[in-house]
Amino acid sequence: DARVTQTPRHKVTEMGQEVTMRCQPILGHNTVFWYRQTMMQGLELLAYFRNRAPLDDSGMPKDRFSAEMPDATLATLKIQPSEPRDSAVYFCASGRAAWEQYFGPGTRLTVT
Amino acid sequence: QKEVEQNSGPLSVPEGAIASLNCTYSDRGSQSFFWYRQYSGKSPELIMSIYSNGDKEDGRFTAQVDKSSKYISLFIRDSQPSDSATYLCAVMVRSFKTIFGAGTRLFVKA
């Protein structure tokens, strides 16, 4: 049963620290999405990639967030420096097309 | 105005009843519509996708799209306590970009 994996599952860090979240998409999926979910804002699209190329990252705060796909099996989302308002659950999703999104279990980030 | 509006609920229905969920969207050019289910503490899971005006049925679930009024609905027949979750509607507003509603919490009482 193929699944999207995300690490770490939980992360607690202090304000100002760098946070790196990792995602392994399902083998064969060429589209990867990063979302952030909070109670106030709901599920927000941060960035998405197709064939490892970033197609849209307009949802990301550019000054502190960055997303990359070093290879087809790894997507990363980095926050530097982190702030308390970044506390949220970050989901990665992958698919074979834009209309198909299988979500990973998420990384719960707490910035104190 | 948000691109996808959805009542947060909670919506409470008795077991065996029909649960009716809906949302509205603003981009008239939207072509693809989705319903996701999210259990507490879990990730969203796609349950229905619909790409044209009208109805689509899958088991106990029926999705409806009315593009003239920009209105999307999900009906769950014979609701079960296991259907208790948050239901997110989602709209693909342009190629690859999907906007999610805030989600409606559904409680099915046994």
Cα angle: A51, vertex A68, A49; to 5 degrees = 35
Give me the DSSP letters along chain A. Answer: ----EEE-SEEEE-TT--EEEEEEPPTT--EEEEEEEETTTEEEEEEEEETTEEEE-TTS-TTTEEEEEEETTEEEEEESS--GGG-EEEEEEEESSTT--EE---EEEEE-
Between residues B92 and B78, the one the model is more confident about:
B78
Quote the pLDDT of residue B95.
Answer: 66
Q: What is the mean pLDDT of chain B?
A: 93
Q: Is B22 helix (H, G, I), strand (E, B) or coil?
A: strand
- Residue A11 pLDDT level (bands cut at 50, 70, 90): very high
The structure tokens listed for B77 are: 């027949």
Q: Would an 8 Å CB–CB cutoff place B49 in contact with chain A?
A: yes
Residues of A at the B interface, defined by Cβ within 8 angstroms = 31, 33, 42-45, 48, 50, 55-56, 91, 98-106
Quote the pLDDT of residue A62.
Answer: 87
**What would the mean pLDDT of A10-21 be, rounded to a whole number?**
98
Quote the pLDDT of residue A56.
Answer: 85
Q: Which of A44, A48, A103 sits opposite B43 (nearest CB)?
A: A103
Quote the pLDDT of residue A98.
Answer: 77
- Residue B8 pLDDT level (bands cut at 50, 70, 90): confident
B chain contacts of residue A103, beta-carbon cutoff 8 Å: 43-45
